[in-house]
């Protein structure tokens, strides 16, 4: 664990908040219970008018958490009781992790090290009864896309490659759907690369895949050095546990991307990511929560943790001298619900497993409550977008006729 010295001379974990794993831990430790409850209500919202309840985790999962030093938290989203439908409760998990070995280690050792590191965390999810589990973006490798060096392409693998086979066995063992985000090598189309999420069914079968729709081009940080925008549209995968979709990383900044998954009927949308503090942390708790509200679905947001140091220095278009790391990946994985409630986040610097029970009936209940689908005026926006795509498009701007008159 990285350490640093705080202002008062105490040794604290690097990347932590005043020595605490997360903002929630900081608040709960330093506020009176009644004040903490009120602050928590404002920050995390209320689920059906109540705070989220903690889930009792099996001792075997807790033992794995202690032995392998990963954060383990679990909460429950409820829905109102209906007369015509039974509750549709599904248990969902998110995993965030740092890399297992330095980026200078042999690539095969790095990949196998990450497999070995994640296996007990996945097993903890399995023994805790998780039905659907999602891993972080490009979990099988360091986040090398900031370097623009092509040697990292060696980590790419086919959809049915080593990591998928590894997860297929665990999916079958624990009757668990697993979302496997990888750097894909498309063997059928000239071995080009994609940023892809492979959906593994609870029987160990491959249900399908989705390729990242939006590629960041921020300064000279440009992931299209490795892969381009995906060609799979906005698929929603119907599993035995519910309808899920995957909005990979940078796609969370695009409201229409969320909308498309929602229109296709997603009940849970996962956002496996890799993003650093200086770049995006103020946006992190806002975008996914807003997407859950606007699209009447649950959202699972995952971010890797740690600072990954590369052998060759690079720049990031931020005006700073070249450096050997992209910044601190701040973890903080969390769930958001359609009623605007959300869970506390996992740690900013530790590996972690976040578990949530969610009654999927809440999705329809909030569609009915707010009527967004009926009031959305899609035809108006479809007309605007059709016009916008034409080269002779002119913005609909009405100017004050006095604005451009010369004053006399």
Cα gap 269→247, rounded to integer Å: 7
Record the tokens describing residue 49, joined without a space: 């008018």
- Say whether 249 is catalytic: yes
Residue whose token pair is 């990591």? 163
* Phi–psi pair at 399, nearest 5 degrees: -95, 145
Record the tokens describing residue 266, joined without a space: 């997603």
Cα gap 75→357, rounded to integer Å: 7
Burial of 96 (0-12, 13-18, 19+ CB in 10 A): buried
Q: Which of 117, 134, 137, 223 is catalytic?
A: 137
Contacts for 67 with CB less than 8 Å, ≥ 6 apart: 120
- Say whether 81 is catalytic: no
Q: What angle do CA 341, 342, 348 make, to 5 degrees?
A: 160
Q: Which of 249, 297, 342, 363 is catalytic?
A: 249
Record the tokens describing residue 138, joined without a space: 């490009």
Q: Closest Cα to residue 266, out of 287, 294, 297, 239?
A: 297
- Say whether 342 is catalytic: no
Backbone dihedral region for residue 397 (phi beyond 0: left; psi -120 to 50: alpha; all else: beta): beta
Eight-class DSSP state of 47: B
Cα gap 77→73, rounded to integer Å: 14
Q: Which residues pair with 222 in a beta bridge?
A: 217
Burial of 206 (0-12, 13-18, 19+ CB in 10 A): middle
H helix or E strand, kind and range, residue 38: helix 33-44
Q: Which residues pair with 47 in a beta bridge?
A: 50
Is the separation of the CB atoms in 137 and 304 below 8 Å? yes
In angstroms, the Cα distances linking 75 to 70, 87, 136, 346 are 17, 17, 20, 12
Q: What angle do CA 60, 349, 47 make, to 5 degrees?
A: 70
H helix or E strand, kind and range, residue 245: strand 242-246
Q: H helices within 175-275, ranges in order?
A: 255-263
Q: Which of 117, 209, 212, 243 is catalytic?
A: 212
Catalytic positions, written as ranges = 137, 212, 249
């Amino acid at each position: 664990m990285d350490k640093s010295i705080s202002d008062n001379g105490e040794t604290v974990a690097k990347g932590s908040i005043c020595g605490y794993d997360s903002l929630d831990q900081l608040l709960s430790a330093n506020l009176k219970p009644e004040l903490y409850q009120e602050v928590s209500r404002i920050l995390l919202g209320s689920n059906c008018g109540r705070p989220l309840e903690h889930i009792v985790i099996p001792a075997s999962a807790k033992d794995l958490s202690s032995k392998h030093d990963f954060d383990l938290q679990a909460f429950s989203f409820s829905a109102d009781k209906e007369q015509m439908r039974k509750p549709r409760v599904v248990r969902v998990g998110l995993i965030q992790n740092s890399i297992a070995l330095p980026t200078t280690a042999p690539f095969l050792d790095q990949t196998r090290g990450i497999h070995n590191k994640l296996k007990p965390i996945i097993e903890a999810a399995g023994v805790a009864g998780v039905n659907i589990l999602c891993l972080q973006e490009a979990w099988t490798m360091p986040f090398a896309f900031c370097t623009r060096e092509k040697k990292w392409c060696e980590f790419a693998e086919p959809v049915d490659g080593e990591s998928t086979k590894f997860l297929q066995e665990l999916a079958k063992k624990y009757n668990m759907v697993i979302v496997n985000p990888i750097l894909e090598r498309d063997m059928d189309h000239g071995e080009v690369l994609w940023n892809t999420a492979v959906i593994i069914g609870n029987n160990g079968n491959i249900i399908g895949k989705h390729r990242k729709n939006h590629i960041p081009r921020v300064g000279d940080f440009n992931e299209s050095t490795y892969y381009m925008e995906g060609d799979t549209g906005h698929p929603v995968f119907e599993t035995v546990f519910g309808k899920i979709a995957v909005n990979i990383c940078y796609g969370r900044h695009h409201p229409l991307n969320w909308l498309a998954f929602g229109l296709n009927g997603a009940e849970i949308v996962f956002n496996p990511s890799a993003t650093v503090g200086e770049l995006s942390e103020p946006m992190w708790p806002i975008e996914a929560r807003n997407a859950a509200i606007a699209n009447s679905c649950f959202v699972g947001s995952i971010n890797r943790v740690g600072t990954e140091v590369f052998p060759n220095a690079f720049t990031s278009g931020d005006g700073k001298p070249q450096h050997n790391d992209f910044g601190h990946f701040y973890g903080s994985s969390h769930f958001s619900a359609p009623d605007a409630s959300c869970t506390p986040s996992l740690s900013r610097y530790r590996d972690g497993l976040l578990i949530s029970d969610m009654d999927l009936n809440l999705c329809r209940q909030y569609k009915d409550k707010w009527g967004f689908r009926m009031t959305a005026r899609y035809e108006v926006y479809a007309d605007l977008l059709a016009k916008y795509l034409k080269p002779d498009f002119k913005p609909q701007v009405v100017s004050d006729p006095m604005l451009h008159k010369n004053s006399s």
